[in-house]
Every structure is written in C-alpha cells, then in structure tokens.
C-alpha cells in the first residue's frame, strides 16, 4: 500500500496513468500464477442463439462449463395481474399472448379452468371440443416445427429453418382461415368457441394433412440420420428420469427419459380418451431423443387431426346457457367488421331485452361462483396448468399459469454443467423454452 501513485505520462490525448501498486498488483500476480482459464461469460439477454430474451451466465474453464445459471424476467409482462382487471371472456385475449407459440393451449387451459369453476364442463358441445382438439394438435405441429427450425438454426443449419417455417406457414394459413388471425387468436372462449368453422375449413385442413404427410419425411431425410446433426445432439443435454421428476420437467424432456407420461392419456380432457394415438418415448435422455420424440409427435398429431375431421358433426359450438354464451354468431359485415346482420336486426328492431342482455354480457360479463380450480393440458412443452380463482365477480380474482417452459428451464443447469460451451445452445434448444411463457 506504500507504493507511490502512478506517475502521469503526457500524450497528445492528455495525461495517461498506468495503475500500479495496491491490490491491483496482487490481483495481476495471482491471475498470472493461476493456470486455469476460468472466466465468467454472460450470454444475452439479447443473443442470436438463445430463445428470446434469455440470459445465460456461464462460468467456463477453457471450453468446459463449470457453472450455468439463467437470468429470466426480461419479458415479464404482468399478464396475470392484467387479467384481474378484465372480464372472464376478455381473459382469453391475454392468456393467448403468454406462450405465443402455443396460443391454443393457453386458451384451452384457461377456459377449462373457468368452465370447471362454472360447473359447465359437461355441457360443452362436442363440436366445440373436437375443434379445440383439432386446433391444439395443429398448434402442436406448428410449435414443434418452430422448435426444430430454430434449434437447427442455432446449430448453424439454415436449411432446416427454412423447411420448418415453410410448413408452419401452411398451418398459420389454416389458423387465419379459422380464427381470422395468424397468431394470438383468442378463439377458444369460456363455454366453447368464438365462432364456428368457416366454410371450406375442413377441406383446407384435409389438404394440409395430405401435404404435411409428404413433407414430414423430409425432416427425417435431412436431419435424423445426418452425422453432423447426430454428433451435435447425441448425449448432449443429458437429464435422466430422476432429474426430470425432481426438477418437475414434463413434456418431451420427461418422455426422452423413457416415461410415457402424457396428460392426454393419463388425465384426459376435451375428449382425448376417444382418440387413437401413441405417446412416443426415447431412452436416451438427450437432445437427440427429444428431437426424435418431437418428430414422432408431429406424426401422431396429424393422426389426431384426421380423426378430428372424421368426428366433426354439425352442432353448436357454445354452451346453451344464454347467461354465458355470447348471443351472436359473429359474421363479417360489409365494412369488414361487425356482427351477424340477422342478430343486429333482431336486437335493434324487435327485442329491447335482447339488446340489454347482449350489452350486459359483453360489457359486464358473467359471474363465476367463488372457488378455485386447476386445469392442466399437455402442451407441446409439457404440463400447462391454469390455477383460476374466483371471488364471485365478473373478473378473475387470480389466475396463475404453471408454464412448462418456466419449469423445464430450471433443468438448464443440470443439463449443461460439465459439458462444452457449444453444447449449452443445443441443450437450451432441446428444452424449447419460449420466454413469453417463462416470464408471462
């Protein structure tokens, strides 16, 4: 500590000090003596190789990751709080934006919860349930396609990214035809659906299934046997069954550890018990196994979609209870907006009471008896649960989403520590976290 201060050295840019003495010398000496190459690397929250705004903090020794931690919350949107200031029906508009790649699952989990609170689970029309299943399975396809596409891109394989987005576009076209929107649909509502399938939708879905059956083997040809792909994915991101259970990992991660746990089989909802499909598993516990499971799940989803189409029968898509169901069948007016003209004619011209009822139901909403319910669906990423609490009002008292991405992301440290830096990317891609769901 007695060493003199650094003496200034004059340069054209002003005085320059070279720091010597004090603690700094010790730091430099000890750093020079230490023969390891331990450094702490911060990745993100804005980085091309992470899914969204995920921040990874890695302590690396040479190329080996000794410690890995996640920083999340960079996309925290306060959706759960916002829900408390909107009616139960408006809630779907918010939840659909949580995990934006699995919109229909968020909506279904929320609506199943609200329906359980209302006690109308048994009254949901069959057609509504079949269309929900149809859309959810299409959604599984589109979500897995994004996972495989971006996962490939993060490995440097741009071709598979183009493939994935090419096929996803076709699904988005179907969404647009059915719900009017490419993403963030708010189509599934408490009690049923916002509206029926438009004319031509069934044919369009059939056409899509045909095309997709042709396209799916291309992923096999491109990636499954690809030696580089296998070398990057096999034995990377290892998490065995014990780890999965302790960390609460569900979805493809759990199934890659060999346990065929799928809520569609073990705790069916929306009539899943009547569909014929298989739950693929792997016993490799690694990223490659998860990739194969996702591919196989897409094939199974196509099977379910076909069964849905055969099962579709004409009928209502909303509960009969007029205190819950919005009265109108939405239909496009000449101005591109609006409501069914027949309905407007009726409420404006002939029935004052219908007008009042419509107004009250849309602005004030329906009341839900006090209590709480938990509804869970098997989203492409795992168990997506909605804990819905009502205090008897027209707005949710509290809605909490148990998002699979959030829970599965905790496994990142267990998968990455001890591996190589480059494998961190592969492991995170195999978890397939979507930050909208993680942070909500």
Site for another protein in 115-144 (CB under 8 A): 116-117, 119
Tell me whether residue 329 or residue 394 sits nearer to another protein (CB atom).
Answer: 394
Kindly report the length of the chain: 440
351 binds another protein (CB under 8 A): no
Q: Could you tell me if 150 and 51 are in contact, meaning their C-beta atoms sit under 8 angstroms apart?
A: yes
Say whether 318 sits in a helix, a strand or coil: strand
Site for another protein in 175-204 (CB under 8 A): 182-184
254 Cβ contact partners less than 8 Å away, ≥ 6 residues apart: 241, 244, 245, 261, 382
Binding range to another protein, per CB under 8 A, among 45-53, 190-198, 218-226, 311-319: 45-53
Tell me whether residue 113 or residue 192 sits nearer to another protein (CB atom).
Answer: 113
Binder of another protein out of 89, 92, 106, 150 (CB under 8 A): 150
Tell me whether residue 64 or residue 410 sits nearer to another protein (CB atom).
Answer: 410
322 binds another protein (CB under 8 A): no
**What is the number of alpha carbons within 13 Å of residue 48 lying toward its C-beta?**
5
357 binds another protein (CB under 8 A): no
47 binds another protein (CB under 8 A): yes
359 binds another protein (CB under 8 A): no
CA 160 to chain centre: 20
Tell me whether residue 64 or residue 165 sits nearer to another protein (CB atom).
Answer: 165
Tell me whether residue 153 or residue 308 sits nearer to another protein (CB atom).
Answer: 153
Site for another protein in 409-428 (CB under 8 A): 409-410
Binder of another protein out of 25, 61, 169, 342 (CB under 8 A): 169
Tell me whether residue 74 or residue 209 sits nearer to another protein (CB atom).
Answer: 74
Binder of another protein out of 64, 66, 93, 329 (CB under 8 A): 93
Q: Could you tell me if 319 and 325 are in contact, meaning their C-beta atoms sit under 8 angstroms apart?
A: yes
Binder of another protein out of 54, 58, 92, 94 (CB under 8 A): 94
What whole-number distance in Å separates Cα of residue 425 and Cα of residue 430? 9
Q: 174: closest CA among 158, 187, 160, 162?
A: 187
435 binds another protein (CB under 8 A): yes
Torsion of CA 219, 224, 226, 230, to 10 degrees: 130
Q: Give me the least distance between CB of 214 and another protein, in Å please.
A: 16
Angle at 28 between CA 25 and CA 31, to 5 degrees: 145
Site for another protein in 66-85 (CB under 8 A): 72-82, 84-85
Angle at 195 between CA 194 and CA 200, to 5 degrees: 140
Q: Could you tell me if 98 and 406 are in contact, meaning their C-beta atoms sit under 8 angstroms apart?
A: no
What whole-number distance in Å separates Cα of residue 109 and Cα of residue 375? 6
What whole-number distance in Å separates Cα of residue 102 and Cα of residue 171? 13
Say whether 296 sits in a helix, a strand or coil: helix
Q: Is the dihedral of CA 428, 430, 436, 440 positive or negative?
A: negative
Say whether 341 sits in a helix, a strand or coil: helix
Q: Could you tell me if 134 and 205 are in contact, meaning their C-beta atoms sit under 8 angstroms apart?
A: yes
391 binds another protein (CB under 8 A): yes
Binding range to another protein, per CB under 8 A, among 226-234, 311-319, 403-411, 417-425: 403-411
Q: Give me the least distance between CB of 343 and another protein, in Å please.
A: 24
Binder of another protein out of 56, 101, 171, 233 (CB under 8 A): 101
Site for another protein in 253-312 (CB under 8 A): 259, 261, 266-267
Site for another protein in 214-243 (CB under 8 A): none
Q: Give me the least distance between CB of 314 and another protein, in Å please.
A: 29
What whole-number distance in Å separates Cα of residue 233 and Cα of residue 223? 11
Tell me whether residue 75 or residue 201 sits nearer to another protein (CB atom).
Answer: 75
Q: Give me the least distance between CB of 367 and another protein, in Å please.
A: 6
């Amino acid at each position: 500590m007695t060493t003199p201060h650094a003496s200034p050295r004059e340069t054209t840019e002003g005085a320059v000090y070279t720091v010597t003495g004090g603690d700094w010398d010790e730091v430099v000496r000890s750093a020079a003596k230490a023969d390891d190459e331990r450094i702490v690397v911060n990745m993100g929250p804005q980085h091309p190789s992470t899914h969204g705004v995920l921040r990874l903090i890695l302590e690396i020794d040479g190329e080996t990751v000794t410690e890995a931690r996640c920083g999340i919350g960079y996309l925290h949107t306060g959706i759960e709080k916002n829900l408390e200031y909107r009616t139960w029906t408006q809630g779907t508009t918010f939840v659909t934006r949580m995990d934006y790649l699995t919109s229909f699952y968020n909506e279904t989990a929320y609506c199943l919860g609200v329906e359980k609170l209302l006690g109308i689970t048994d009254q949901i029309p069959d057609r509504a349930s079949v269309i929900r299943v149809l859309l959810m399975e299409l959604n599984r396809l589109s979500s897995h396609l994004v996972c495989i596409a971006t996962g490939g891109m993060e490995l440097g394989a741009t071709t598979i990214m183009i493939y994935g987005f090419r096929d996803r576009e076709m699904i988005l076209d179907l969404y647009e035809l059915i719900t009017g929107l490419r993403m963030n649909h708010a189509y599934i509502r408490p009690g049923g659906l916002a509206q029926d399938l438009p004319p031509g939708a069934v044919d369009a879905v059939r056409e899509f299934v045909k095309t997709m059956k042709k396209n799916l083997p291309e992923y096999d040809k491109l990636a499954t046997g690809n030696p580089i792909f296998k070398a990057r994915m096999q034995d990377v991101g290892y998490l065995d069954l014990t780890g999965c259970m302790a960390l609460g990992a569900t979805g493809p991660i759990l199934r890659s550890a060999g346990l065929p746990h799928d809520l569609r089989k073990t705790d069916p909802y929306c009539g899943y018990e009547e569909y014929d499909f298989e739950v693929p598993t792997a016993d490799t516990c690694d990223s490659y196994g998860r990739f194969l499971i996702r591919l196989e799940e897409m094939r199974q989803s196509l099977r379910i979609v076909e069964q849905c189409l055969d099962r579709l029968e004409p009928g209502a898509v909303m509960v009969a209870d007029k205190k819950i169901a919005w009265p109108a069948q939405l239909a496009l007016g000449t101005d591109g907006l609006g409501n069914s003209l027949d309905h407007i004619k009726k409420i404006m011209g002939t029935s004052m009471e219908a007008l009042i009822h419509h107004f009250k139901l849309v602005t004030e909403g329906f009341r839900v008896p006090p209590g709480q319910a938990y509804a869970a669906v098997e989203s492409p990423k795992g168990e997506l649960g909605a804990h819905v609490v009502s205090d008897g009002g027209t707005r949710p008292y509290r809605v909490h989403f148990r998002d699979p991405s959030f829970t599965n992301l905790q496994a990142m440290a267990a998968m990455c520590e001890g591996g190589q830096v480059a494998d961190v990317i592969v492991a995170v891609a195999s978890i397939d976290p979507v930050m909208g769901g993680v942070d909500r």
